[in-house]
Amino acid sequence: MRLLIQQVASATLDIESENIHREIWKWLIIYFWVHDEDYKNYKEKIARIIKKIPLLKCLSWEDWAINTSLNDINWEILFISNFTLYWRSLKGTKLDFVHSAPFKEAKEIYDYFIVEAKKAWRKIQTWEFWADMTVRSCNLWPLNFILDY
């Protein structure tokens, strides 16, 4: 599994076809995708991820140092699946997604992650898996984390 985590001042997600609007103020967008070999032990990996993310040190709004864990603040997360996290380009410019999990397995893992995250985290906004959407974010510095499990 790969997660790209961005600390943001604000973010919105819109799915116009379904009239869905999600919005967060201050903290994280998590882009998430599944490797084709993750199906074997995904529940263990997700349990570790859910414990780790609240402990990540993020940028403090008060002293502008990277010293504040999410547990120290009133944080929100916008959680988005993103199949391009496992792209590769061996030749030329065409993207290859050979290591991305198949749709059915990825959706099962994504859905499981959301259920477990909602049990553990205070504020999480999600969207329908694989929907056509628009994401807007105002990044707080270019502060990004990449987690591989």
- At 15-44, the pLDDT tens digits run 877 777 888 887 789 999 999 888 889 999
Report pTM.
0.85
What span, in angstroms and rounded, lies between the C-alpha atoms of 75 and 94? 38
What span, in angstroms and rounded, lies between the C-alpha atoms of 6 and 30? 7
List the domain boundaries for the chain.
2-148
Is it the case that residue 98 has pLDDT exceeding 90? no
What is the H or E stretch that residue 107 is in?
helix 103-120
Return the closest-CA partner of residue 31 out of 122, 104, 102, 100: 100
Task: Name the burial class of residue 55, with classes exposed (0-12), middle (13-18) and buried (19+) by CB atoms within 10 angstroms of its CB.
Answer: exposed
Q: What is the pLDDT of residues 118-142, one digit of tens each?
A: 999 878 888 777 777 888 999 877 8
> What CATH number has the domain spanning 2-148?
3.50.80.10
Look at phi and psi of residue 26 and say left if phi exceeds 0, alpha if psi is from -120 to 50, else beta: left
Crossing angle of helices 42-52 and 103-120, rounded to 10°: 40
